[in-house]
Structure 1
Amino acid sequence: MTSNMVDWQLAVSLGSRLAGAGPEVSAGEAAATVAELREGANRSTSYVRDFTGLDAGALSAPVLVVDRPAWIQANVDGFATLLTPIIDKLEAKKGPPGPVTQAIGSRITAAEIGGLLGFMSSRVLGQFDPFHEPSGRLLLVAPNVVHVERELDVDPTDFRLWVCLHEETHRVQFTAVPWMRDHLFSEFNALADTVEPQRLLDDGFKRLSEALKGGSSASLLDLMGSPEQKEIVDRVTGVMSLLEGHADVVMDGVGPSVIPSVAAIRVRFDERRKGVGTLDRLLRRLLGLEAKMAQYRDGAAFVRAVVDKVGMADFNAVWAGPDNLPSKAEISDPAAWISRVLQG
């Protein structure tokens, strides 16, 4: 964290306050949940390997079972890593802000980041953090898992393993395919290089205000993205759709053999993904979560189409290097990816 333009600790504090503690559980139930999630992640490693053919070896990326504040802290750390190049660029262009401006501005930005993470922290079940040194880490958010399994009225043991299958697939993706982490980081750095700080300040927040008033259906990324940025975003969208869709295919492929109630879980969870209430749907749209849901759906369709056509072994050519990754367009046209990568 090389800049004082964001009060990162205030962002953690505000986000944690907004997040709430989660469902009430006894000390014994909390300990059992943590143990079961850890065990589920460990069990899932071999399931993912046998289904996909991806071997992550000793899996150097650790598994952490966390509460909401710890998830917020982890994501503030990630934001600091990703935003530092943009902040440095702004300071280089305009010079360091004065002490009063810095004090006020850092708190305003912290409030915005804290509000975002406070909202997200009660909804995320798990996340692979690829930018944590040295090789990433898997976060499983225990209170949210308990909340959702109660909300859906599903078997807790089955649901926890189901969540672990999806999230463990991400850990395997990044550890069995070690270049993926550096590739994504380079894409985010390229995105930072395209940012025009003054344009973002002058135009982006005005358009965001219009969206909040109901005049736009765009996400934050759509509101603030230049054409050059959108080219990079399209590439990242292709990668993220692949990763999320692949994880969904794994959990659906492995689930029936190891999770007795998987069919009921999938139906109820998919219904939950649609969001509840007008405010929730608005926030999901603005934060790009609707696009996230599309990544699950479109990415899974891509993976299934390719595997059905050529088999898992040939599909795994997608992990050979960055040039083999599907573009955003190819996610919607699997035959084009097959032609380019496998038949070209």
Structure 2
Amino acid sequence: MIDWDLAVRVGSRLAGDGPAVSRGEASEVVAELRGGAEKSTPLVREFTGLYAEARTAPVLVVDRPGWIQANADGFATVIAPIVGKLQEKKGPPSAMAEAIGSRITGAELGVMLGFLGGKVLGQFDPFHQAEGAAGRLLLVAPNIVHVERELGVDEHDFRLWVCLHEETHRVQFTAVPWMRDHLQDLMGEIVGQVETDPSALLSEGLSRVGSVLSGKSDASLLDLFSTPEQKTIIDKVTGVMSLLEGHADVVMDGVGPEVIPSVDQIRARFTQRRKGIGTLDKLLRRLLGLDQKMAQYRDGAVFVRAAIDKVGMEGFNAVFAEPANLPTKSEIHDPESWLKRVHG
């Protein structure tokens, strides 16, 4: 259904190479990011109280095409059950339909990956399968260099700041081993609810695209093409992701000025940068769900700080004891309700 090679080629072409750096500068950035990821492990452990063995996931410092290839591989794994459902109901497509359709969807996916490939700073992939590894950590070197230059901040502080965020995600999934399976189960439920009639799916979703384009709705493509049953499950995923992203943001800002002296300046300029984007960029961000992603960082951090203020870090860590203790989407916006439910 998707020409993955075409998606990678289109995405890589659109993303471009990033800022110009010499070979020596590139080597220094790669070495510093690898070192920052390793340095972050004890810092995250000390701040959060969560213990995760070091080096349980490979650290890959990649360029934009490398990030695009890694995510195309991940999408291919996630989408495989959906393809199976469609083929089970409709049967395999004709050779011509498959050739044309796969190139169209490959190009569309490539455009999305190209847009994201120029913006993502880092990513922890908990679902990557490799012997002896619990996921993998990706750091996108050209994007990190581009943003640190644009913000005019201390490059060494900024690189460690990014590493702290992504290392926190590694710790979350390694110190809390059920988290990966829990999210995978939720994703499986979403796939199980997929509408296998493409015409019905498209007619319902496209009827609402106009509302987004006209500014009457802030829904993402995921919202537009989701059934009510899927949206219920997506709300659960949103609650979990808001927790994880907010927790990582609190860690990256809270490790302390002794380690990142300019952390307050970095946060202020990084937050301001998000506001200074053009109309087309805002539309694409809305359609791809990036506005919702930014809300996860913001709302999740507010939840985490509120919980820690009330019950301390150890009390907050009850959130990682079992799936039942995870906050719902509504509890993210009402930390008191989570505290009453979990801590009485």
What TM-score do you get using the length of structure 2 for normalisation? 0.96
1:274 aligned residue? 275
Matched, 1:17 2:13: yes
Q: Distance in 1 between matches of 2:312 and 2:126?
A: 28
Change (3 A) 1:33 1:239: same
Instruction: Tell whether the 8 Å contact from 2:62 to 2:141 is kept in structure 1 after alignment.
Output: yes
Where in structure 1 are there 5+ consecutive unaligned residues?
Answer: none
Alignment RMSD (CA, Å)? 1.3
Q: Distance in 1 between matches of 2:306 and 2:50?
A: 19
1:139 aligned residue? 138
Q: Distance in 2 between matches of 1:238 and 1:149?
A: 30
- CA positional deviation for 1:206: 4.5
Q: What SS does the aligned partner of 2:60 have? A: strand
Where in structure 2 are there 5+ consecutive unaligned residues?
Answer: none
Instruction: Tell whether the 8 Å contact from 1:162 to 1:255 is kept in structure 2 after alignment.
Output: no
Q: What SS does the aligned partner of 2:50 have? A: coil
Q: Distance in 2 between matches of 1:67 and 1:96?
A: 36
Query: Sequence identity, in percent?
Result: 69
Matched, 1:46 2:42: yes
Residues 1-344 of structure 1 mapped to structure 2, 5 A cutoff: 5-134=1-130, 135-198=134-197, 199-208=200-209, 211-212=212-213, 216-343=217-344
Q: Distance in 2 between matches of 1:24 and 1:177?
A: 40
Q: Distance in 1 between matches of 2:36 and 2:8?
A: 29
- CA positional deviation for 1:335: 1.1
Q: What SS does the aligned partner of 1:195 have? A: coil
Most deviating of 252-261 and 121-130: 252-261
Q: What SS does the aligned partner of 1:131 have? A: strand
Instruction: Tell whether the 8 Å contact from 1:59 to 1:172 is kept in structure 2 after alignment.
Output: no
Q: Distance in 2 between matches of 1:200 and 1:257?
A: 53
- CA positional deviation for 1:215: 5.5
Q: Distance in 1 between matches of 2:196 and 2:111?
A: 21
Q: Distance in 2 between matches of 1:217 and 1:271?
A: 21
Q: Distance in 2 between matches of 1:73 and 1:221?
A: 22
Deviations 1:176-225 (A, max 9, x none): 11111111111111101101032323322453366346554321122112
Q: Distance in 2 between matches of 1:172 and 1:215?
A: 40
- CA positional deviation for 1:104: 0.6
Most deviating of 80-89 and 294-303: 80-89
Q: What SS does the aligned partner of 2:127 have? A: coil
Q: Distance in 2 between matches of 1:139 and 1:275?
A: 26
How many pairs were matched up? 339
Deviations 1:113-134 (A, max 9, x none): 1100000000000001111014
Q: Which amino acid aligns with 2:164?
A: L
Deviations 1:248-301 (A, max 9, x none): 100111042211111111110001123511011111111111111110110000
Change (3 A) 1:108 1:275: farther
- CA positional deviation for 1:60: 1.2
What TM-score do you get using the length of structure 1 for normalisation? 0.96
Q: What SS does the aligned partner of 2:79 have? A: helix
